[in-house]
């Protein structure tokens, strides 16, 4: 899964034929690079990923996680404690409370009910579905839930992918990628003047992109695993 599609890029005006294998390869690579940059810059991901992650037990009743737990039924399927020791055991999921609402995405955690997580380093494994996503439980008698990338992140993915699509080394394509910096342009003699990259504190220097990435950045001390 990616945060945007080739059809999204074409809808934004990218000149390409979805039947052209060379274009599809270039566009796919651009989208992949855009999504990877977003993940690195924010320290989390924006799609539903089912995996096992290891975290460190705190010796208290609260176990903090590095990424949000998705909403929906049974997002956590298994928890093991005491990993790599003779004390390894499965946790009964009825003995924990999972914090995975919209308000919990900046502080995802699992609370032990009446007991404490054994203290240790990477000694707890949590298996389930994780990611900073928008959840829709569906409608009707047989609802189909969906987990989608937040619209702002999808828009940034498109912007980044479009900037990566032009061929490197072509002067006019370089100017197109730097259009947000353009402060003066002359139609006779083709003279362009670009402002210095703004101090956005982000990876691209584009305030429209870096501002969104900053808003979705994982809290300090949380690392994307």
Same domain assignment for residues 81 and 101: yes
Q: Which residue, of 125, 148, 171, is where some domain finishes?
A: 148
Q: In whole angstroms, what is the distance from residue 143 CA to residue 8 CA?
A: 26
Q: In whole angstroms, what is the distance from residue 136 CA to residue 139 CA?
A: 9
Lowest mean pLDDT among 57-66, 69-78, 190-199, 200-209: 190-199
Q: Which residues pair with 112 in a beta bridge?
A: 96
Is 225 inside a domain boundary? no
Q: Higher-confidence residue: 69 or 187?
A: 69
Domain that holds residue 12: 6-45+149-215
Overall number of domains in the chain: 2
Q: Which token pair is 159?
A: 């912007």
Q: Which token pair is 134?
A: 């928008």
Contact predicate 106/121, CB 8 Å: no
pLDDT band at 218 (very low <50, low <70, confident <90, very high): confident
Same domain assignment for residues 61 and 92: yes
Q: What is the mean pLDDT of residues 15-24?
A: 92
Q: Which token pair is 201?
A: 């504190």
Q: How much of the chain, in percent, has pLDDT values that exceed 70?
A: 81
């Amino acid at each position: 899964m990616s945060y945007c599609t080739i059809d999204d890029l074409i809808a934004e005006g990218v000149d390409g034929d979805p039947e052209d294998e060379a274009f599809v390869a270039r566009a796919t690579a651009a989208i992949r690079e855009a999504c990877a940059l977003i993940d690195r810059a924010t320290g989390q991901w924006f799609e539903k990923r089912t995996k096992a992650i290891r975290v460190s037990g705190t010796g208290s009743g609260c176990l903090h996680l590095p990424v949000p737990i998705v909403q929906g039924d049974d997002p956590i399927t298994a928890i093991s404690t005491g990993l790599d020791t003779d004390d390894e055991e499965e946790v009964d999921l009825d003995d924990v409370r999972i914090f995975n609402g919209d308000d919990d995405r900046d502080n995802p955690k699992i609370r032990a009910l009446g007991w404490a997580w054994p203290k240790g380093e990477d000694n707890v494994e949590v298996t389930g579905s994780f990611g900073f996503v928008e959840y829709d439980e569906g409608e009707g008698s047989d609802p189909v839930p969906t987990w989608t990338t937040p619209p702002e992140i999808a828009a940034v993915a498109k912007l980044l992918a479009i900037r990566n699509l032009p061929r490197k080394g072509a002067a006019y394509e370089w100017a197109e990628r730097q259009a947000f910096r353009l402060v003066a342009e002359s139609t006779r003699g083709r003279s362009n003047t670009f402002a210095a990259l703004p101090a956005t504190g982000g990876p691209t220097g584009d305030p429209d992109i870096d501002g969104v990435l900053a808003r979705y950045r994982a809290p300090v001390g949380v690392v994307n695993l």
